[in-house]
Amino acid sequence: MKKLATVGCCCAGCHVAILDLHERILPLLKDVELSHSYIISDVKAIPSDLDIVVVEGGIRTEHDAALAKEAREKAKYVVALGSCACFGGLPSLANLYDTKEMMNYVYTMTPGTSAGEIPHVEIPRVTQKLEPISSCVKVDYEVPGCPPEPDDIALIIGGILSGERVELPKKSVCDECERKRLEKPPAKVRRLFEEPEDKRCLLEQGYFCMGPATRGGCKARCPNSAVPCDGCRGPSAVSWDQGLAMLDALSTITYENVKDYSLATHTGTFHRYTYASSLLAKLQGLVEKR
Amino acid sequence: MSEPEDVRIGVFVCHCGLNIAKTVDVKAVADFASRLPNVVYAIDNEFTCSEYGQNQIKTAIRDHQLNRVVVASCSPKLHELTFRRTIEQAGLNPFLLEMANIREHCSWPHLHEPQKATEKAKSLVSAAVERAARLEEIGTVKTPVKKSALVIGGGMAGIQSALSLADYGFTVYLVEKQPTLGGKAAQLGRVFPTEDCGLCVAPQRQDMHRRCMYKTRILTRPNIKVFTLSKIKSLDGYVGNFKATILKEPRCISEELCVGCGECETVCPVQVPNEFNYNLDKRKAVYLPFPQALPHTYVVDRKNCTRCRKCVEICPTKAIDLDQAPSEFAVEVGAVVVATGTDEFEPIGMYGYGKSPNVITQSHLARMMDPGGPTAGDVIRPSDDKRPKRIAMIQCVGSRDPSTHLYCSKICCMISLKHARSLKAKYPDVDISVFYKDIRASGKNYDVYYEDCQEAGVKFLRGEVEKLSEDSGTGNLSLHFKPLSGSPHTAEFDLVVLTNALIPRKDTEELARTLNLSLSPDNFFAESHPKLAPLDTKLDGIYLCGGCVGPKDIPESITQAMAVASRAATLLAVGEVEIDLAKAVVDENRCIGCGNCETACPYHAIELPQTGIAHVIEVACKGCGVCVVECPTMAMELRHYKNEQVLAQIDGILAG
Amino acid sequence: MERQEQFEPVIVAFCCWWCAYGAADLAGTSKLEYPTNIRIVRVPCSGRVEPQFILRAFKGKADGVIVAGCLEGGCHYVDGNLKAKRRVESLKKALNAIGLSGDRLEFYLMSSAMSDKFVEAMNEFTERIKRLGPSPLRV
């Protein structure tokens, strides 16, 4: 019986994704024992002789780093689960700001906070930057998504158990989207509250849909429901930088109509889930290291 | 694509006599190059482009089994082709050559900094070596060319180019929007400098007598197919293989059956202003546009026809069908000629035009002076049909004018001189004053008109007509004139003729969109290069001639029409187009069919077929690489300028 | 060799083959002088310049990057230069946000006959980079 553990450093949404397998989790549990699981089970210590450890969340504190290293030491295979673990995820947008200023703002200056203070008693120290798991330890498999597809999780774990080589789909969300491209893109940027046309490509109508630069495999649920894709599954496997790829692809729409470019705003759209692993962030890191 | 297993680069650093060697230490550069990765041979030589230098390269390729060559010398703009041929002769694919520009970009602009120039040369060679290691073989492909042409526009330029192309033996499809061929020339009456009928078109090769358009037998030439009342609905394809859809509006009268008897016109009860004669007279709703119309077939004006069917009943050959529908024709051609001509600027609101009846344009005057026109050649005032005694002509109306068009319309001076001379000949006592900025009579035998006018007593007044006011009683017009030198004064005339500008046709933008052509800033069609390629466009296989490129006279239009036939014939006669494959290429596994590339391509060289995978039409691709950057999944690459090739160059420059 | 007081920047200039490269050639032929710090990389069109090329140059410790293309309305490939201009404008702001001055990146327009404009641009940009100092990536 193989041993599987899951550890988490984040919102636990990815763990909920595991549970979303519902009864499909039962066939997995025939071959593997859930020796330790953040939130799901109550075992406190991480056992040593694990076959697979699934790590959720990015490295934000020194505790997270220690946890990731412990997982790596104790397991044969490390799976980075969710966009935070794979690319940094939403929280990595914090890398745009100075950490001290950020902590100060979050704990003392937000509207509605009175007499706040930055927690410091028995709290692990915050790292300078939020990084994906791979910055700390070697990762064997990645399951992207915010949250990831439950079936992807089962596929990867099943593959490791059986020894078969499994791959998650490599194309993009556009491949699974039912909307059709009719003609050339418009020159106007539209906001979500301006109701989109049915059945027609959202990007073409002027909505910032990250579909072309985002990895497929999610059945394009969002664009098929008239919500532009926000890129939660990270770059399609061949893209070098999801945000910059999308920026290039949107040359016509973006640059003519988005007059006030501010990196924070744009990054929030284009690098929403992948800032920590983007080329820009890497350059930023080099600049700050000086 | 990673480096091939066994890349063997040869580097040749040129002295170029002293041009490079005086500033750059070429021996040091060659020595530096010899120690770069993958370089197995590096020398310096005096003149690499010489016979001797090229042989050195060929020998080195053979003796050292080189499979990449770097030449550090002058600008590739000079000798890239030379050295590509050199290595091709030695058995290497010509695209396995890289050049480092250490002359125009190094030794020459840094004459006084030899040490820094040498360091820079090393850096440039390092970049070239890194790139050379990643260069790939690129082949060529031949695509056949259809031996037929499409001519859009049936005026002087269009007819001439169609005739010239047909003379070459090619099939020509001539498409004209109006019900008749002839264009603007049909409305001009006599033209300068030959004082013959405007519709006179170039003679056949064997026969140097003038032939009226009516007699050029253009309609019976077997290899010219004329489509009147037609326009281009769509144009797809690329050089040598265009597919056009022609949309023909219904004439409602059969071109085969109509014998031109005119009975239909006689019985038609509807009368409307005749636009051919600038509304000076009326025509019927079934009419022949003008006596020499070609095809000589009547046409139904469907907008004004009341469908009383009197014409249908009376037609002896039963040629009329009021319910005829539009039809479409698909043709495949190798080349396209655009000859759509110009429109006239309507100077509404200027100098009382549109308000005062006795302010007319030169075209209006031309129709009156045409013996076959609405007034049988008599010039009369619109307000009272009386003959004018004092005529003013105002030049540059709508031309050379910041508030309308900045350009000069080229032929207006000649139009006024022609009309003034003719008027004086016909009515010796008429008083004519020409108000002008400059007199431009620069063509062959043109200045004669100016001399003749002056001799005949035509007054030429240089300056600015500031104001015009009408005496509503007499209909006379007072011009307030500010001469170039002297004090302003007022003069009264009974007829004012405005010499109005030539402007691009109203449907130019629509046609440019259909054909994917560019427009110049003043909205005429844009030629590829005003000096070196005045009839080409940005798209291979599509050419321009005549007024649609810019205002011009008939001799120039005919010249351009004959020239454009030569341009098109060059393509069609060779019969095939050979291109190298340093073009964009799609990785089908990565393509998601988003269509960004199709939108980004300025040449429509990328199509997105049913398969959902983008496809590059290599013969139409110009290799700019914009599609590569706009592809969100890195499915598009540009051969010979692939990402990793450029990145390698950047790394090479910054190394060390 | 002694190290000079003033540092010598390394500037990578992406020049479009039809205009900017031609202007550079003409500058050379006319023996007009400009700083040796400029290293030209040939691209078919300024619109071919990917942001990753520019970032790669900065990552490789380039002190400044130039993208040079044809005049507005004069792009040999119709409008590639306009696309490049927009990308560069966006990237300049992005560079500012990550701590690399956006002034280290510039876009210049010129025709292939404008050797004087080329030289002026190279001089101006080199001076600018000298004032800004070495790239923060240099130790």
Cross-chain CB nearest to A171 (options B592, B595, B631):
B592
Q: What is the pLDDT of residue A251?
A: 64
From the list A64, A45, A54, the residue with the least C-alpha distance to A124 is: A64
* Average pLDDT of span C70-96: 82
Q: What is the pLDDT of residue A252?
A: 56
Supply the mean pLDDT for chain A: 86
User: What percent of chain B has a predicted confidence (pLDDT) above 70?
Assistant: 96
Answer yes or no: is pLDDT of B546 > 50: yes
Backbone angles phi, psi at B388, to 5 degrees: -75, 145
**Shared domain check, A23 and A109:** yes
Considering only A242-246, B369-373, B554-558, which range has the smallest mean pLDDT?
A242-246
Chain C positions touching A262 (Cβ under 8 A) are: 93, 97
* Average pLDDT of span A175-201: 79
Backbone angles phi, psi at B570, to 5 degrees: -55, -45
Answer yes or no: is pLDDT of B205 > 70: no
CB C61 within 8 A of CB C138: yes
CB A8 within 8 A of CB A38: yes
pLDDT band at A268 (very low <50, low <70, confident <90, very high): confident
To the nearest whole Å, the CA of A35 is away from the closest chain B CA by 40
B632 in reach of chain C (CB within 8 A): no
Contacts of A125 (CB under 8 A, 6+ apart): A61, A62
Count Cβ atoms below 10 Å from residue B615 Cβ, excluding itself.
16
* Average pLDDT of span A152-175: 88
CB C61 within 8 A of CB C34: no
Please give the CATH architecture assigned to the domain spanning B148-249+327-341+510-574: 3-Layer(bba) Sandwich (3.50)
Q: What is the pLDDT of residue B591?
A: 87
ipTM for the complex shown: 0.94
Please give the CATH architecture assigned to the domain spanning C11-110: 3-Layer(aba) Sandwich (3.40)
Length of chain C: 139
Chain A positions touching C52 (Cβ under 8 A) are: 240-241, 244, 279
Domain end position, chosen among A162, A195, A226: A162
pLDDT band at B56 (very low <50, low <70, confident <90, very high): very high
Answer yes or no: is pLDDT of B1 > 60: no
Give burial (CB, 10 Å; 0-12/13-18/19+) of C98: buried
Q: Is residue A167 part of a domain?
A: no
pLDDT tens, position by position, B627-656: 999 888 889 999 999 999 999 999 999 986
CB B218 within 8 A of CB B199: no
The residue ranking higher by pLDDT, B217 or A64, is A64
To the nearest whole Å, the CA of C27 is away from the closest chain A CA by 32
Supply the mean pLDDT for chain B: 92
* Average pLDDT of span B316-334: 96
From the list B388, B578, B577, B396, the residue with the least C-alpha distance to B477 is: B388
Task: Tell me which residues of chain A, numbers 111 to 140, contact chain C at a CB-CB cutoff of 8 Å.
Answer: none
Could A96 and C97 be called an inter-chain contact, meaning their C-beta atoms sit closer than 8 Å?
yes
* 3-class DSSP assignment, residue B397: strand
pLDDT band at B599 (very low <50, low <70, confident <90, very high): confident
Could C44 and B113 be called an inter-chain contact, meaning their C-beta atoms sit closer than 8 Å?
no
Q: Is residue A272 part of a domain?
A: yes
State chain B's maximal CA–CA distance in angstroms.
100
Could B624 and C48 be called an inter-chain contact, meaning their C-beta atoms sit closer than 8 Å?
yes
Q: What is the pLDDT of residue A185?
A: 60
Could C97 and A283 be called an inter-chain contact, meaning their C-beta atoms sit closer than 8 Å?
no
- Distance from C-alpha of B449 to C-alpha of C74, rounded to nearest angstrom: 40
Q: Is residue A168 part of a domain?
A: no
| Per-domain residue ranges of chain B | 9-138, 148-249+327-341+510-574, 343-504, 581-639
**Shared domain check, A54 and A104:** yes
* Average pLDDT of span B417-429: 95
Backbone angles phi, psi at B409, to 5 degrees: -85, 10
From the list B68, B64, B59, the residue with the least C-alpha distance to B90 is: B59
pLDDT tens, position by position, B168-195: 999 999 999 999 998 998 888 888 888 8
Domain end position, chosen among A162, A185, A210: A162
Alpha-helical segments (H) within B169-274 = 263-267
* 3-class DSSP assignment, residue B508: helix
Chain A positions touching C50 (Cβ under 8 A) are: 248
From the list C105, C60, C16, the residue with the least C-alpha distance to B130 is: C60
CB C58 within 8 A of CB A247: no
| Same CATH fold assignment for domains B148-249+327-341+510-574 and B343-504 | yes
Supply the mean pLDDT for chain C: 89
pLDDT band at B204 (very low <50, low <70, confident <90, very high): very low
Task: Tell me which residues of chain C, numbers 2 to 61, contact chain A at a CB-CB cutoff of 8 Å.
Answer: 50-52, 55, 58-59
The topology under which CATH files domain B581-639 is: Alpha-Beta Plaits (3.30.70)
Strands B148-152 and B171-175: parallel
Domain end position, chosen among A162, A185, A201: A162
Residue B350 token pair:
């200027």
C137 in reach of chain A (CB within 8 A): yes
Considering only A215-219, B219-223, B253-257, which range has the smallest mean pLDDT?
B219-223
Backbone angles phi, psi at B71, to 5 degrees: -115, 120
Q: What is the pLDDT of residue B518?
A: 81
- Distance from C-alpha of B647 to C-alpha of B644, rounded to nearest angstrom: 5
Answer yes or no: is pLDDT of B278 > 50: yes
Answer yes or no: is pLDDT of B207 > 80: no
Please give the DSSP secondary-structure letter assigned to residue A196. Answer: P
Q: Is residue A83 part of a domain?
A: yes
**Shared domain check, A237 and A151:** no
Answer yes or no: is pLDDT of B216 > 80: no
* 3-class DSSP assignment, residue B482: strand
Could A255 and C136 be called an inter-chain contact, meaning their C-beta atoms sit closer than 8 Å?
no
pLDDT band at C91 (very low <50, low <70, confident <90, very high): confident
Chain B positions touching C12 (Cβ under 8 A) are: 650, 653-654
**Shared domain check, A217 and A116:** no
Given the candidates 3.40.50, 2.30.29, 1.25.40, 1.10.8, the CATH classification of the domain at B9-138 is 3.40.50
* Average pLDDT of span A15-30: 91
- Identity of the amino acid at B624: C
Answer yes or no: is pLDDT of A47 > 70: yes
The residue ranking higher by pLDDT, B47 or C99, is B47
Q: Is residue A88 part of a domain?
A: yes
Q: Which residue of A has its CA nearest to C59?
A: A283
pLDDT band at A120 (very low <50, low <70, confident <90, very high): confident
The topology under which CATH files domain B343-504 is: FAD/NAD(P)-binding domain (3.50.50)
To the nearest whole Å, the CA of C97 is away from the closest chain A CA by 6
pLDDT band at B209 (very low <50, low <70, confident <90, very high): low
C139 in reach of chain A (CB within 8 A): yes
Could C137 and A282 be called an inter-chain contact, meaning their C-beta atoms sit closer than 8 Å?
no
Chain B positions touching A238 (Cβ under 8 A) are: 590, 633-635
User: What percent of chain A has a predicted confidence (pLDDT) above 70?
Assistant: 91
Q: Residues A155, A157, A159, A162: is their CA dihedral positive or negative?
A: negative
The residue range of the domain holding A10 is: 2-162
Q: What is the pLDDT of residue B186?
A: 87
pLDDT tens, position by position, B482-513: 999 889 999 999 999 999 999 999 999 999 98
**Shared domain check, A193 and A121:** no
